[in-house]
Each structure stands twice: as structure tokens, then as C-alpha cells.
């Protein structure tokens, strides 16, 4: 998976939005976000402080610090443009996949099933 500068910029923007959402949830006392994360308010504040410190260090010009921050952004699970999950199939392309996979009938019914298929093929 190849990350271009534009992909990294998009991931940084998405991370900034998520961090801002978390910050607002902590400041307003909204427990829903923290419950979803399984964090206490103090854990969220500690995370926000570490994230901000890492972001400031990355902006300082130190290549190692910048690399660590970019790696952290990449690790968020965002994907560069054009890279999708194998599970992400457009609905119009799925065809019969939406119904599930086919399996063989139980051995007790195999002959009846074969006769059924032959009978319906004749129609």
C-alpha cells in the first residue's frame, strides 16, 4: 500500500477532525464518545495531550519525529485513495453474493436435489 503526500494529508485532516470531536466530547462532558472508546475522561485528556505533543514535535522539523507522527497517522486504519477492503464491493456488482454462498445439499437429499435441478432445467 503506497502512501502519497496527498493521501497522508487527507489522513492528517481526518485525524484532526477525530481529535477535535474527542476534545469537544471531553470538554462538554459527553460520555457517549468516551463510552464507545471505553475511556475515562482522564484517559481521553491524557491521549489528547500525547497526541498534541507528538504533533508539535513533528512540526519542529526533526525528521525522526515527523516520521513517527506520520506512522501514527497511517496506523489509524485509513486507506490511501484507490485502496479498498476486499469486503467493500459495490451493491450493483455483488450480484448473487448478497444471498450468501451455495453449498451442497445433505447427502440424504442429494438425489432429490439432482432430480429437481434436471426437472427445472427442462422448463
Q: Note the pLDDT of residue 77.
A: 66
Residue 98's pLDDT band, with cuts at 50, 70 and 90, is: low
Domain ranges of the chain: 5-84
Contact call for residues 81 and 5 (beta carbons, < 8 A): no
**Which residues lie closer than 8 Å to 6 by C-beta, 6 or more apart?**
81
pLDDT digits (tens, 9 = 90+) for 88-97: 556 555 555 5
pLDDT digits (tens, 9 = 90+) for 36-69: 888 888 999 998 998 888 888 888 877 888 888 8
User: Which residue has 450493483 as its cell numbers?
Assistant: 92
41 C-beta neighbours (distance < 10 Å), count: 13
Higher pLDDT, 70 or 23: 23
Assigned C-alpha cell, 9:
494529508
Query: Which whole number is the average pLDDT over 12-25?
Result: 88
Residue 85's pLDDT band, with cuts at 50, 70 and 90, is: low
The b-or-e profile of 5-23 (16+ CB within 10 A means b, else e) is eebeebbbeebeeeeeebe
Angle at 22 between CA 16 and CA 26, to 5 degrees: 145
Amino acid at each position: 500500500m503506497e502512501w502519497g503526500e496527498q493521501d497522508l494529508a487527507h489522513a492528517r485532516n481526518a485525524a484532526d477532525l477525530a481529535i477535535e470531536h474527542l476534545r469537544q466530547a471531553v470538554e462538554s462532558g459527553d460520555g457517549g464518545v468516551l463510552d464507545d472508546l471505553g475511556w475515562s475522561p482522564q484517559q481521553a485528556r491524557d491521549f489528547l495531550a500525547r497526541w498534541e505533543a507528538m504533533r508539535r514535535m513533528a512540526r519542529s522539523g526533526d525528521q525522526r519525529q515527523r516520521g513517527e507522527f506520520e506512522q501514527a497517522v497511517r496506523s489509524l486504519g485509513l486507506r490511501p485513495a484507490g485502496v479498498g477492503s476486499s469486503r467493500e464491493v459495490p451493491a450493483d456488482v455483488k450480484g448473487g453474493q448478497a444471498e450468501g454462498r451455495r453449498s451442497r445439499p445433505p447427502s440424504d437429499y442429494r438425489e432429490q436435489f439432482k432430480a429437481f435441478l434436471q426437472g427445472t432445467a427442462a422448463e
